[in-house]
Amino acid sequence: MSDQKNLFSSSRRQLLKGLGLVSIFPAISACAATGTSKASAGRVVVIGGGFGGATAAKYIKRGNPAIDVTLVEPNKTFYTCPFSNLVLAGERQLDSIGHNYDELQQVYGVKVVHALAQDIDPVAKRVSLSDGQSLQYDKLLLSPGIDMRWNAIEGYDEAAAELAPHAWKAGPQTLILRQQLEAMEDGDTFIMSVPGNPFRCPPGPYERASLVAHYLKQHKPRSKILILDGKDNFSKQGLFTAGWQAHYGDMIEWVSLSNDGRVVRVDAANKEVETEFGTRHKAAALNIIPPQKAGFIADRAGVTDQSGWVPVNPVTFESTQVKDIYVVGDATVAAPMPKSGFAANAQGKVAASAIVAAFAGITPLDPVWANTCYSLINPDYGISVADVYRVQDSQIIAVEGAGGLSAADASDNIRRSEAAYAVGWYNAISQDTWGTKL
């Protein structure tokens, strides 16, 4: 048994090497792209410069520099959700999770337009932007991430999010929540409302609770954390609950769906919430993570289905509904792959290779991916879950027996190493996506 375990963990490590993506790029001769002729091999517009979009833009250029790639992203600096929980805990500054588009432009020759894509005409193959420009494409790639379903919880709209932040997109929202945590008095309560599945980053809320507890334990040790959940179980639950007990005693209380955990109404001005069966809770700091859907531009492109998410062909990540539109990242229905930055980055590469192959008239290979989700229980105590995915019968499946979960009885040393791996992962994926070093 113990032999098997060793075998298992070493093979797992090998699988996860190189960000888990097993060579999917068709061999395009590099010569095709060189030479003085500036003839474009095709026009690609990428919408969204987050994990999926920035990766795709870069890898299309890497696959064939003669393809004309324009990336549309309103923000000059992209703040990652990964590690934003450390910013909440006061362990990092927001700057340290910001990335820019310099390398994509300067090294890879991606044109970057800082504007919001407002509409898409899939017949004329045109994108209209908030700055009045319109862009023509041969292939369009969307990685718009998520939008909140405003008012799905009564009283929770955009204005309410200024008072009770979701902080589920990093940046200004992260800072509002940080300020609320800083303003808490010792003994106050921090409340977080978590939606039902599917949502961005399944372990994210529980990592957030952990790191907020880490902050409160040092500065306001009599305070409480109340997690009101729309689910009866959650990602890495056993590891989280044990970690909470060990580090924070009973500071964190989790209320499940079947114990009346689902929030149905928010009074943001009074930082009060009401659950399904009428229980009211009042907070000093209130974090509402609302139900979500694909970024609105996916709707405009006509690629979403009734669920609000985008069904895709898993071999190419082309929309199953509109030709020549590829969609990656959180916006897609890629279950069992989670809505993670890791997955968005891997899918960005798959779509990039499919686009490069399509322009070259080649059939793309079937992709294989791995995903690892690290979570920190405190800055020196990490846990992880890993999976390997492939396509079978046109659907993504998790490969059985591959991947795994951190051992329940791992030593503090192992937890410390996993926390260090998490930092290594963060630096590597940031480097791979935006090329910006910390």
Partner 1 sequence: MRLVVLYTFLLSLLVMPLQVFADWQRFAALKEKIQDMTPIESGLELTLPLVADDGSAVPLKVTFKGSLAEDEHITRLWILADRNPNPDVIDFEISEHIPRIELSTRIRLGESQTVYALAQSNQGNLWLAQQEVRVTVSGCLMSGDDTTAETVMSQPRVALPRNPVAGEAAELRTMINHPMETGFREDEQGNLIAQQLVESLQVTRADQPVITANFHTGTSANPFVAFFLDQFDELTFSWTDQQGQQLSEQR
Ligand X SMILES: Cc1cc2nc3c(=O)[nH]c(=O)nc-3n(C[C@H](O)[C@H](O)[C@H](O)COP(=O)(O)OP(=O)(O)OC[C@H]3O[C@@H](n4cnc5c(N)ncnc54)[C@H](O)[C@@H]3O)c2cc1C
Contacts with ligand X by CB under 6 A lie at: 47-53, 72-75, 78, 81-82, 84-85, 116-117, 143-145, 168, 200-201, 204, 208, 295, 297, 329-331, 339-342, 344, 373-374
**Minimum CB–partner distance for residue 51 and partner 1 (Å):** 15
Other C-beta atoms within 10 Å of 160: how many?
Answer: 21
Ranges within 378-437 binding partner 1 (CB under 8 A): 385, 387, 389, 395, 398
Structure token digits, residue 33: 């792209």
The whole-angstrom separation of Cα 80 and Cα 170 is 6
Residue 145 contact, options partner 1, ligand X, none, Cβ 5-8 Å cut-off depending on partner type: ligand X
Helix (H) or strand (E) holding 396: strand 395-398
**Minimum CB–partner distance for residue 227 and partner 1 (Å):** 16
Q: Applying CB under 8 A, which part among 58-66, 79-87, 96-104, 334-342 lies near partner 1?
A: 334-342
DSSP 3-state of 13: helix
Which position among 105, 237, 431, 436 is part of the footprint of partner 1 (CB under 8 A)? Answer: 237
Nearer to ligand X (CB atom), residue 12 or residue 362: 12
- Residue 225's DSSP bridge partners are 190, 252
By the rule CB under 8 A, 259 interacts with partner 1 = yes
Which position among 203, 261, 291, 348 is part of the footprint of partner 1 (CB under 8 A)? Answer: 203
DSSP 3-state of 40: coil
Q: Looking at residue 154, what DSSP letter applies? A: B
**Minimum CB–partner distance for residue 108 and partner 1 (Å):** 30
Nearer to partner 1 (CB atom), residue 116 or residue 315: 315
Residue 389 contact, options ligand X, partner 1, none, Cβ 5-8 Å cut-off depending on partner type: partner 1
Q: Phi and psi (nearest 5°) for 178?
A: -60, -45
By the rule CB under 8 A, 338 interacts with partner 1 = yes
The whole-angstrom separation of Cα 44 and Cα 57 is 9
The whole-angstrom separation of Cα 60 and Cα 25 is 10
By the rule CB under 8 A, 145 interacts with partner 1 = no
> Alpha carbon of 248 to those of 27, 163, 214: distances in Å?
52, 27, 8
Nearer to ligand X (CB atom), residue 269 or residue 438: 438
The whole-angstrom separation of Cα 370 and Cα 386 is 7
Burial of 10 (0-12, 13-18, 19+ CB in 10 A): exposed
Residue 261 contact, options ligand X, partner 1, none, Cβ 5-8 Å cut-off depending on partner type: none
Residue 20 contact, options ligand X, partner 1, none, Cβ 5-8 Å cut-off depending on partner type: none
Other C-beta atoms within 10 Å of 416: how many?
Answer: 15
The whole-angstrom separation of Cα 319 and Cα 72 is 19
Token pair 């494409």 is found at: 137
Nearer to ligand X (CB atom), residue 66 or residue 291: 291
Nearer to ligand X (CB atom), residue 255 or residue 331: 331
The contact set with partner 1 (CB under 8 A) reads: 196-198, 201-203, 231-237, 257-260, 276-278, 305-307, 333, 335-338, 340, 343, 371, 373, 385, 387, 389, 395, 398
